[in-house]
Amino acid sequence: MTDRPPSGPLILVVDDEEANRLALERILVREGYDVRHAEDGRQAMQRLREERPALVLTDLKMPGMDGLELMRAARAVEPELEVVLLTAFGTVETAVEAMKEGAFDFLTKPLKRAEILRTVRKALDKHHLVVENRALREELARAVPGEIIGRSAAMRTLLEEARQVAGAQASVLLSGESGTGKGLLARWIHRVSPRRERPMISVNCGAIPEALLESELFGYEAGAFTGARGRKEGRFDLAQGSTLFLDEVTELTLALQVKLLRVLQDGEYERIGGTRTLRTDARILAATNRDPEKAVAEGRLREDLYYRLNVIRLELPPLRQRRDDIPLLARHFLALHAERNRKTIAGLSDDALEALSSWSWPGNVRELENAIERAVVLARGEQIELTDLPPVLRQARQRSGLLSFAPGTPLKVVERAMIESTLEQCGGDKALAASLLGITARTIYRREAEWRGDEDVEPSGG
């Protein structure tokens, strides 16, 4: 075995012929993988228990425990392990049996370098996805209802700051793009604060007509205006001893901003039509998807009110800056909407998850939830496929598959990348790939032989 430090995912090569093991190792190590050997099933199981590889490449025909038996035993120990079977005596029946037993793939000798590497990459991608999905499921299972879902560095920092300010009386301004979860963060701050025994009171300042917003906030006395037959308590009354969340606070009229400023400064207000000064101890959380400094400069937000609201500022990052959270959020919304729609959906395909992770999400978390809800409704299988996602995501995924090269890239490099990428898209079908590229299949075989040089694994034994 080559003496070099681990450099990539661990792969276990099992073959009773040493020449085959070394040839495979040479190919894999050059691609940055860490490789271990085993000469039979017994030694392979020992190495598997000691080192936990991500992938096993095993010969099918071996003395004692054959490849299929090894695969069954290995997956009993490590269910997430991927296994690729190799043989010089391949038949359709054997391949079908291997795939039914759970093999990732079945390759026939003589093995070709490009084919080996393509299969290894796909198998390791699947292993990574399975392991990540398990971790996401475990994390979601531990989540408390109402908990903010996120494990990215940006969200961890934000929640640490939010927890620090939750117990204070000071006003907090939550800013960030639309759909980033400002309302959810406000509820989370209230839930971990000393005021959590009383319900949080919320007002969307941009959704209530201007003529009604003042009475919603401050209430009114009987006879204050036509139709005011009795007293009505406002949101400041209802938020006594609790938290008042003012969403889209920059949409308040300047006249209402003056009244809100008085409450923040002195804790005092009057109901419409009333003469008695009332006091409130409501803790104010405010939110805006506008740039508050720009709103002040444009005259939409009073500067003195801004400083009163902005005692503590928490900026919610857009989803494109917390991509580590996309798989976790997608799984959360998948479980939520599958239950609501009474559907059984196990997860997301590799292509679907990659499309979700690579999209820019201008609508942030809200857009992601809408995309997952749509996919759940349209899904016909046991998992969300790329075709279930909104067209804009599918189109972006297709565009991301385009190759690009820097000026001066050697033509041999360009040609190889084009051929290997097309083969990847065609599932290894050389005739189809050749047809798409406008060349003959013989040209592809010849090019692969040139790239491979002496790196083919010659058939030997099983």
Q: Alpha-carbon distance 290 to 176, whole Å?
A: 7
Structural tokens at position 348: 């997301």
Residue count of the chain, please give it: 462
Output the pLDDT for position 171: 94
Output the pLDDT for position 92: 64
Contact 343, 374 (CB under 8 A): no
Q: Alpha-carbon distance 133 to 370, whole Å?
A: 21
Q: Which residues of the chain have pLDDT under 50?
A: 1-6, 140-145, 454-455, 457-461
Over the stretch 71-128, which tens digit does the pLDDT of each residue have? 888 888 888 889 998 887 766 677 777 777 788 888 888 888 888 898 898 888 888 7
Residue in 162, 172, 171 with CA at minimum distance from that of residue 192: 162
Output the pLDDT for position 446: 84
Other Cβ atoms closer than 10 A to 391: 8
Ordered by where they begin, the domains of the chain are 10-139 (3.40.50.2300), 153-319 (3.40.50.300), 322-400 (1.10.8.60), 411-452 (1.10.10.60)
Q: What angle do CA 350, 352, 358 make, to 5 degrees?
A: 100
DSSP letters for 121-135: HHHHHHHHHHHHHHH
Q: What angle do CA 210, 212, 217 make, to 5 degrees?
A: 100
Helix (H, G, I), strand (E, B) or coil at 68: helix
Q: What angle do CA 375, 365, 160 make, to 5 degrees?
A: 140
Q: How far is CA 362 from CA 301, 369, 376, 395, in A?
A: 25, 13, 21, 16
- Helices 350-358 and 326-340: crossing angle in degrees, nearest 10, is 120
Output the pLDDT for position 1: 41
Phi, psi angle pair for 336, to nearest 5°: -60, -50
Output the pLDDT for position 4: 42
Q: How far is CA 50 from CA 32, 64, 264, in A?
A: 21, 21, 63
Contact 59, 86 (CB under 8 A): yes
